[in-house]
Amino acid sequence: MPGFDVLVVGAGVIGAACAYYAAREGLHVCLLDREDATSGATRACDGDVLAIGQAPGYKSRMARVSQELLSELVSSLDGDLDYKLRGSGLVVEEGQEEFALDWAKRLEESGLPVRYIGRDDALRSEPLLADDVAGMVECDSDSSLNPMELTYSMIRSIRRTPRCEARLQNDVVRILRSGRGQAVGVELASGDRVLGGVVVIACGVWTPRLLATVGREVPIHPRKGHLLVSERTSVMARRKLMEFGYLAAKYDDMPPIDVPDEMQRLGIAMVIEPTGHGNFLLGSSREFVGFDTASNPWVLELMSRRVLRFFPSLARVRMIRSYAGLRPYTPDGMPIVSPVEGTEGLFVAAGHEGSGVALAPITGRLVSEMILNRATTIPVEPLALGRFSGTSPISTAELKEV
Amino acid sequence: MIDDDVIICRCEEITAGEIRKAIGEGARDVPSVKRRTRSGMGLCQGRSCERLVLRLLCEETDANGELLRRDRVRGPLLPVSLGDLAGDSTDAGV
């Protein structure tokens, strides 16, 4: 059985990016997944590559570096990725202007092309917006693409690389270690083993199960989200738009939106996004309900109401589908891109919550740099798994109150 | 044998050849064919193409169609206006 240099477990956008960048460095890579590619969060997300919603500072800079890597990545891949540099907007309601101005200023200071525009300019650029909004924060560097196509294209590239493989429908159940505690490969449900000197776990919300096989806890929890898909229709919004209150649903230190308690509990916040095929995606929700991915009609109803608050003229546009998926949440809102202490050669790349697509290129690049012991493109200390050590695992009851 | 140029998903105009290519790259059930091709993503939500996609999966992979995962049933089951989904339209400003 030939051994690989690197095994990457999980063929979502994060795992594919880790394997792709490693293959580009000349490492012999095998990407594994228990199902087809994109069967976890990558199948249930939207296509944003956003910096505008990232906390100003390290995370917004990380997103900006990833955007720069993405534009290079897109040009070196085949496939129709629907990559569009359309920008994005955070729609601000009355009473939120002060927070929005501060958010825009801090993002701009972190190096993003961000500005605040008032109501008249917001309505000129997005004519279907409700005319009582206060303004909008805009970011020019934000883009969108088809995240599944991005993943498939990276996998095609891996498969074209000599001595690199993508083995789908290969269910990894255990990380194998040598007597000295070094990662040496993985074991499949079939009992077969795949050997490799470095093992990268990129399994999103399923990451903790594999890390448990080497006795490590990882604080990643599924945070469910819904989206509605519209019929193909004329332009409803020209780019990704979110309500500024979306940030309150995502971050604990933002003031909550003025909506009924039930909406707050379900993390309802308006998002609308054009896709490359003329359908629009409408959302959103955010809740801790375990691994359940059924569409909840009550959540869809509340999401629809919230979208209509910002786009009243869309009442007659028809919805053809809903879907729901699980964001890999971490307690501090930062992903884990890190070696695993105690098991040499083992790495984690997971926990990107709703930003996996946006952060995939920088994540893949960082993992390669760490494997090769090179200086990293950005500091990796804030992404280290060790930042959670000493903290007790969060109970489900506590999570529901977050 | 269905010819490669036959349209399987009429809503999204996806051919048998495109579906075979998706299966060749790793799709093994209806949802993964859908993700790779858009077959079943259109207005009818797979009502006309799902059986044909299952047939192609069985032909290409020797799978048993009865055991293959189909697309999950999710609302709205028919195209429904955003206003109707939101319930009482007079309450839409909530």
Closest residue to A36, CB basis, from B28, B45, B83: B28
Question: Which residues in chain A are closer than 8 Å to B57, comparing Cβ atoms?
Answer: none
Mean pLDDT of A128-139: 97
- The whole-angstrom separation of Cα B85 and Cα B76 is 8
Radius of gyration of chain B (CA): 16
DSSP per-residue letters across A10-29 = --SHHHHHHHHHHHHTT--E
pLDDT tens by residue, A296-308: 999 999 999 999 9
Cis peptide before A208 (omega within 30 of 0): no
Q: Give A319's Cβ-side CA count (13 Å radius).
A: 29
In this structure, are residues A288 and A402 in contact, taking their beta carbons and an 8 Å threshold? Answer: yes
Place of tokens 């309450």: B91
For residue A387 the two structure tokens come to: 């930042």
What percentage of chain A has pLDDT greater than the value 90?
Answer: 91
- CA atoms of A298 and A121, how far apart (whole Å): 34
Q: Do B36 and A152 touch (CB under 8 A)?
A: yes
**Whether B29 and A36 lie within 8 Å, measured CB to CB:** yes
With contact defined as beta carbons under 8 Å apart, do A56 and A129 qualify? no
Q: CA A32 → CA A193, A314, B77, distances in Å? A: 12, 42, 35
Task: Name the percent of chain A lying above pLDDT 70.
Answer: 96
pLDDT of residue A398: 44
Contacts 24+ apart (CB under 8 A), B84-92: B85/A228, B85/A300, B85/A301, B85/A304, B85/A319, B86/A301, B86/A304, B86/A305, B86/A307, B86/A308, B86/A315, B87/A301, B87/A304, B87/A305, B89/A315, B91/A305, B92/A305, B92/A308, B92/A309, B92/A312, B92/A315
Instruction: Encode pLDDT of A9-28 as tens digits.
Output: 999 999 999 999 999 999 99
Q: What is the mean pLDDT of residues A97-111?
A: 94
- Both tokens assigned to B55: 């047939």
Using an 8 Å Cβ cutoff, are A343 and A181 in contact? Answer: yes
Taking 60 as the threshold, does the pLDDT of residue A396 lie above it?
no
pLDDT for the residue numbered B88: 63
B80–chain A nearest CA distance, Å: 5
Measured in angstroms, the CA of B82 and the nearest CA of chain A are apart by: 5
Helix (H) or strand (E) holding A70: helix A58-76
Mean pLDDT over the full length of chain A? 94
For the record, the structure tokens of A205 come out as 């919300």
pLDDT band, very low/low/confident/very high, at A246 (cuts 50, 70, 90): confident
β-pairing verdict for A193-201 and A183-188: antiparallel
The secondary element (H helix, E strand) that includes residue A7 is strand A4-9
What residue has token string 């929005």?
Answer: A100
Query: Cα(A204)–Cα(A15) distance, rounded to whole angstroms?
Result: 9
B24–A contact, CB cutoff 8 A: no
Nearest to B80 by CA among A312, A306, A229: A229
Question: Which residues of chain B are within 8 Å of residue A321 when distances are taken between CB atoms?
Answer: 41, 45, 74, 76
B28 close contact with A: CB closer than 8 A: yes
When pLDDT is averaged across residues A245-253 and rounded to a whole number, the result is 78
Does A82 have pLDDT greater than 50? yes
In tens, the pLDDT along A39-70 reads 999 999 999 999 999 999 999 999 999 999 99
Give the per-residue pLDDT at A63.
Answer: 97
Mean pLDDT score, A259-268 = 92
Q: Is B82 an 8 Å CB contact of chain A?
A: yes
Minimum Cα–Cα distance from B34: chain A residue: A43
pLDDT of residue A402: 33
The rounded radius of gyration (Å) of the Cα atoms in chain A is 21
Beta carbons of A295 and A321 less than 8 angstroms apart: no
Q: Is the pLDDT of residue A395 over 60?
A: no
How high is the pLDDT of residue A400? 42
Report the b/e string of A283-293 with b at 16+ CB within 10 A. bbbbbbbeeeb
Mutate to test the interface with B, among A304, A306, A314, A317 (most CBs of B within 10 A): A304
Quick check: A2 pLDDT over 80? no
- CA geometry: angle at A388 spanning A384 and A391, to 5°? 170
pLDDT of B94 > 70? The answer is: no
**What integer is the mean pLDDT of A351-372?**
98
Q: Where are the beta strands (DSSP E) in chain B?
A: 7-9, 14-15, 80-81
Over residues B32-84, the pLDDT tens digits come to 999 999 999 999 999 999 999 999 999 999 999 999 999 998 989 899 999 99
What was the pLDDT predicted at A390? 67
Pairing label, strands A271-274, B14-15:
unpaired
Tell whether B27 is within 8 A of chain A (Cβ): yes
* A167 in Cβ contact with A123 (< 8 Å): no
Average pLDDT over residues A279-287: 96
> How sure is the predictor about A391, in pLDDT bands with cuts at 50, 70 and 90?
low
Q: How confident is the model at residue A312 (pLDDT cuts 50, 70, 90)?
A: very high
Strands A48-49 and A88-92: unpaired
* pLDDT confidence of residue A255: 74
A44 backbone dihedrals φ, ψ, rounded to 5°:
-115, 15
Mean per-residue pLDDT, A78-101: 94
